[in-house]
Amino acid sequence: MIEHGFTYLAVLVMIGSSIVYTENNSKNKLFEYLPAIVIIYFVVMLASTFGLWQKTESVTATYKTVKSNLLPAMIFLMLLLADMREIVKLGKKMLLTFLLASVSIALGFIGMFTLFHTSFGAGSWKSFAALSGSWMGGTANMVAIQGALDLPDSAMGYTLLIDSIDYAIWVMILLALVPFAKKFNLWTKADTSVIDEVGERLAIKEENRKTIDFASLFFLLGTALLVSALAQYGASFLPTTSFLTTTTWIVIIATLLGIIFAMTPLAKISGSSELANIMLYLIVALIASRANFSELTEAPLYIFAGFVVIAIHVLIMVIFAKLFKLDLFSLGVASLANIGGIASAPILASAYSKALIPIGVLMAMMGYILGTFGGLMIGNILEGIG
């Protein structure tokens, strides 16, 4: 039984790193459907259920210190790749398609919660707000909203469960639809010439990316930790309400700083994505370490609710595709850039053409920018409904 804080942290890091290493070096098809971050959550949650560690003063202090300090640093690093100037170059049609996906997902959450909110327990709006952050951006946004809304770690099990099961099925459906792109585009009368042109331009830029080195990683780590400290210091002076807590302000400040610095030379230093992912995986492991399988008593209802959100999202997307002559590639990648984030949008893009992968990456980066703000806004609406 682990009672010391450092041992607890070391075990979490070892579990996370072992799963990521296995995913990177294994050809097991399990990783095609369940990303490492989801497996980390449920493996750590299993260890917590069996009482591998105790919630001693040392363990609790380590949990709080590491999580609260890494969260703003991770958000900042994740957003360094989201250069608004590059995103704008995607063109009006692709940007509007992405925003359509985001808005339709938001309406999906609002519609679903309006129908079923009486079936869920008190405070369930926070779980769906966190999920909406993930489905409008990525896991980093979900974790940011969890911190901002003070969502209990035990309730995050539902969020991760929907995020993994519903998301995995949606990815398979979108990949299965790729061969039908021409028929769909004929039905909507879409023009795909702009997409090919943007894809070629971004592919050339991607080839010129610099390799990661020790000095870059060290400098980025120092910058991210300083941003975390400044965000926490600055947030302590800002006014708070029942919704805008100090933690919410910390998340907002870190997000804004990430967006601003993404347009500076700092964003050209390689390694921010890798460093941010290490922090993200550790934060997810920390959250899972406070959860328990016995608390997931309403899992089927939550999973069904997730599919209702996707159904509303798809219906709105198809209607607008017909009205505004949108192509299946833009719709699919915009949807997955929201629901799947950086891990899956490029995979779907590559199923159409290798040259289109950078479009998937940029759309996912746009999700990182909007996901936290969008999730907080949806949370505010869901709280009013519930």
Written as tens digits, the pLDDT of the chain (386 aa) is 898 999 999 999 999 999 999 988 887 777 766 678 778 888 898 898 888 998 899 999 999 899 889 989 988 988 887 777 777 777 788 888 889 999 999 999 999 999 988 888 788 899 899 999 889 887 778 888 888 888 887 777 778 778 878 887 888 888 888 888 889 988 988 877 666 666 666 555 555 556 778 898 999 999 999 999 999 999 999 998 766 778 888 888 998 898 889 888 888 888 888 898 899 889 888 888 887 776 666 778 888 999 999 999 999 999 999 998 888 888 998 998 888 777 677 778 878 766 677 777 778 878 888 888 888 899 999 998 86
- Phi, psi angles (nearest 5°) of residue 239: -65, 145
From the DSSP assignment, how many helices (H) and strands (E) are in the chain? Answer: 18, 0
Running DSSP on this structure, what letter comes out for residue 53? B
HSE (side-chain half, CA atoms, 13 Å) at 109: 32
Q: Which tokens in the block code for residue 329?
A: 């590639």
Q: Which three-class secondary structure state does DSSP give residue 2?
A: strand
CA–CA gap between residue 141 and residue 185 (Å, rounded): 32
CB 290 within 8 A of CB 51: no
- H or E element in which residue 89 lies: none
Q: Domain count of the chain? A: 1
Domain hosting 105: range is 5-385
Q: Which tokens in the block code for residue 15?
A: 């579990």
Neighbours of 65 (CB within 10 A): 12
pLDDT in tens, 13-36: 999 999 999 988 887 777 766 678
pLDDT in tens, 209-228: 567 788 989 999 999 999 99
